[in-house]
Structures are given as structure tokens and as C-alpha cells.
Amino acid sequence: MTPDLYIQNGVILNPLTGKSRRADIRIRNGEIVEVGSNLTVSDERVLEAKGRIISPGWMDMHVHLRDPGEEHKETITTGCRAAAFGGFTAVACMPNTNPPIDNREAVHSLIKRAEELPVDVHPIACVSRGRQGKDLSEMAELAATGAVAFSDDGSPVQNGSLMRRALEYTSVVGKPVINHMEDLSLGPKGQMNEGIISTNLGLTPIPTFSEESMLGRDLMLAELTEGHLHVAHVSTARSTAMIRDAKARGIHVTAEACTHHFSLTDEMVEESGFDVQTKMHPPLRTAEDVEAIRAGLCDGTLDAICTDHAPHAAFEKETDFVSSPFGIIGLETAWGLTGQHLIATKRLSVAEAVNRLCVTPREILGLDVPALEAGAKANLTIFDATTNWVFESRHIHSKSRNTPFVGSPMTGRAWAIYNKGQLVEHQP
């Protein structure tokens, strides 16, 4: 545990109200004991915040830790290290591991192994046993053990009857079902977004309607069952409009957007010369889709910002575009991209952006939002929203390095986190 800590000259932001105030924070034994101005410094370590913002710790609700089974890509330890340097004090990890997270022993193991790490790890368990899309997992048992949601992410639930029963169970267990929206029959073996560019490049397309058709099915099932549907990594303008309409009709649906889907378009595939780091799933879409994602985050149609952090080892990516696996890392670029594309452009205020990175992910998953007040466990992120910098390879703390953003401009930087009695500082 970090020795007693005194954080001075910070600006404390409440993302629930949008209000901020300059104050100091005193932490002892991992607990906030005092918040105020010009407090007396005692025998403790002093961390000079230099006027930077202090908010409740951020959470990424969509990451792949690859542990167990693919530790050559990432481990719980390295994934949490990347999260910490990206400003996150919590992550929710997807169950497409080997073996899948479909039993209470696996859920318990993940939670136990992360206890000593500075980042909280919240397991998402499988919707179906073995992620096979056939038999419903023991959702009540998994939720009781600590699963915060259910998903077969990476293997979209194709069976409508199974999805209906899963959504019915959400009312019983109080946890959402998260679906990767894709009708696999509509874009088999697809490599990138369907459009002029895929035609020019001769790459097998993934049409937008493969996402939208399954979303339509699941929205109707959510309306029928009154269950909680969470839509993973929304990538199209029509999907965003469908979710907006569903919310207006009172359907219990929440949704997330990934940082790369509001930062890059499918033109990047061509401009980069088939760079395998531009291959992700859902694929990069058109400028119209990117604009719709940004608008959806601004008006609250899309509730949360996430990364879909998907590490792959170098040898897996060192191949041709078609053979390369989908996915990029994202934990350490999340805030810089949010600042560059949403805050600096005045689409979101700092408080609104933090809300989508801190408050709404926890609300969706039924978790408490950390409080920055005396008597609360210290769980916080120190950051700014104005530093202009360039992301470089040396900034990567993940075990994998698959990202298209090396050399990209960023706005805003996470400087430190404090959680579970541990301080992690970012040295530029």
C-alpha cells in the first residue's frame, strides 16, 4: 500500500453534477480522510496536482484481458497496467478466453487474481455455455459470484430463442446482456466495411445491415421481455438512430461506442496501405457513421465510451490483412482520443466526457460510482484535458502493441490513478 498521501492543488470534478472546485485531498490507509483548501501538510507524501483535474476513477466496460488461455497476448497484470496508465481504475473483461468464463470458478478466479492489482477487474460471464450459442449459462449463479453482465462477445448470439431467454433472466439477476450485433450470415468472412473502398481494395465486405438487422431483432426482444439489453461497440449511423428511437419508446437499452469508431473512418484502411492495425470488428465505417457516433455520445443515445481493448501478439499481426486477427489495443489512447475528437471540438464538455467514462459504465453494470469525499475509499483519476501530445510506442504498457494510433495527435492526458491503496503515476 502507498504511504499516506496528500494531493494538493487539484481541481475536484463531480461528473454527476458537472461542478468542480479547487481542493486538496488527504488519504490514509486507502481512505479519503479530508477534502478541503489549504489543509495542513503532515508526515505524508505530497503529490502536487498542479491544477490538474481529479475525478472518480474511470472504468472501461469492454476489454479483453485474454487471461486465461492467451497470455502471450495479455495477462490480467499487464492489462491492468495498461488500464492504470490510461487513467482507468476499473475494467470489465469479456469472457472469450480459453476456457470461456462460463462457470463460477472462473469468475471467482478472475476476481481473486486481481485483488492486489491497482485496477478493479469485473468479469463479464458467458450468455451461453462455452459461448456455443446453444444452452443458457447459469446466469443467477454467475451473477451471485460476481459477474457484472453476460455476453458471448466475439460470437454474436445468433439464436433468437436463446437471446429471448437471456433477456428474460436479466430481470431476475439484475445484470444486462451485452450483444455483439452481427448477423453472421450477411457478411461471412468479411474483412472491412462494405462500400466503395472495400470494392476498390477487393476485400470481402462487412455490411452495416449485418449489425442493424440483429440490433432490430434484439430491440424487439428487449421490448417483449422488458429485459436490459446493452449494445456493444455501436458502429453505424442507422444503429445509433435505432437505439435513439428505442429509448424514446421506453425500451430498456443502453449502448457504448469505442474510441476508434469516433476517431477513424474506413478510408484509413486504404490510406495506410492495408495496415493490419486498421482491421477491427465491427470495422471502421464511413465519415457519416463516425459523425453519427459522435452525435449519439453527445445527446446520450450512446451511454458510455469504451475501448474494446483487444491485444494480439506481434507474430499474429505480422501477416496479410485477410489473415490478420481483428482488434486493437485502446486503454492508453482512450482519453487522448476523446479529448482530440470530442472535447477539443466542443462536442462534449470535460464533465460530460468523464461521465461517459466513469459514471454511465458503472450505472449500466450496477456498480457504485466512487465518491471523492471524507470517509470514502480513495478511487480517483488525475488528468488534464488540454495537453497536446503525440502517442508513441514508448507509451504502451500493454503486453501487445497492435494499434494504428502510434504517431497520432492526442489532446488531454491521464497523469495518475489511486485505487486500493496504490498510486500509479504516468511519467511522460
Catalytic residues: 308
- Strands (DSSP E) contained in 272-400 are 304-306, 379-390
DSSP conformational letter for 47: E
Cα dist from 20 to 34, 44, 281, 372, whole Å: 17, 25, 37, 12
pLDDT at res. 320:
96
pLDDT tens, N- to C-terminus, the chain (428 residues): 777 999 999 999 999 999 999 999 999 999 999 999 989 898 899 999 999 999 999 999 999 999 999 999 999 999 999 999 999 999 999 999 999 999 999 999 999 999 999 999 999 999 999 999 999 999 999 999 999 999 999 899 999 999 999 999 999 999 999 999 999 999 999 999 999 999 999 999 999 999 999 999 999 999 999 999 999 999 999 999 999 999 999 999 999 999 999 999 999 999 999 999 999 999 999 999 999 999 999 999 999 999 999 999 999 999 999 999 999 999 999 999 999 999 999 999 999 999 999 999 999 999 999 999 999 999 999 999 999 999 999 999 999 999 999 999 999 999 999 999 999 998 76
Q: How many Å apart are CA 193 and CA 204, to the nearest integer?
A: 9
Q: What CATH fold (topology level) applies to the domain 58-365?
A: TIM Barrel (3.20.20)
CB atoms within 10 A of CB 82: 28
- CB of 156 within 8 A of CB of 182? yes
Query: Cell 465518491 appears where?
Result: 371
pLDDT for residue 428: 67
Strand partners, 151: 178
pLDDT at 1: 73
How distant, in Å, are the alpha carbons of 24, 354, 417 from that of 7? 6, 20, 12
Cell numbers 421490448 label which residue? 223
In angstroms, the CA 83 to CA 72 distance is: 18
CA distances from 32 to 13, 19, 373, 419 (A): 15, 19, 6, 11
Per the structure block, which three cell numbers stand in for 64? 479483453
- The CA-based diameter of the chain, rounded to the nearest angstrom, is 67
Task: Kindly tell me the sign of the dihedral angle through the C-alpha atoms of 43, 47, 48, 54.
Answer: negative
Q: Where are the domains of the chain?
A: 5-53+374-425, 58-365
Taking each helix axis as running N to C, give the angle between helix 237-248 and helix 287-299, from 0 to 180 degrees, rounded to the nearest 10: 30
Whether residue 47 contacts residue 7, with contact meaning beta carbons closer than 8 Å, is answered with yes
Instruction: Count Cβ atoms below 10 Å from residue 105 Cβ, excluding itself.
Output: 9
The gap from C-alpha 269 to its chain's centroid, in whole angstroms, comes to 23
Question: Could you give the angle at the alpha carbon of 81 between the alpha carbons of 308 and 34, nearest 5°?
Answer: 105
Beta bridge partners, 134, equal none
Class at the top of the CATH hierarchy for domain 5-53+374-425? mainly beta
What is the predicted pLDDT for the residue at 2? 73
Residue pair 191/206 in contact (Cβ under 8 Å)? The answer is yes
3-class DSSP assignment, residue 417? strand
Neighbouring CB atoms inside 10 A of 8's CB total 17
Q: Show the cell assigned to 93.
A: 473483461
CA atoms within 13 A on the CB side of 414: 31
- Those residues whose C-beta lies under 8 Å from the C-beta of residue 124, and which sit 6 or more positions away, are 92, 93, 94, 95, 101, 147, 148, 149, 150, 151, 153, 178
Structural contact between residues 286 and 193, judged by C-beta atoms closer than 8 angstroms: yes
CA dist., res. 49 & res. 23, Å (int): 10
Residue-by-residue DSSP string for 4-50 = PEEEEEEEEE-TTT--EEEEEEEEETTEEEEEESSPPP-SSEEEE-T
Separation between Cα atoms, residue 172 and residue 174, nearest integer Å: 6
Q: Which H/E stretch holds residue 57?
A: none
Cα(425)–Cα(428) distance, integer angstroms: 10
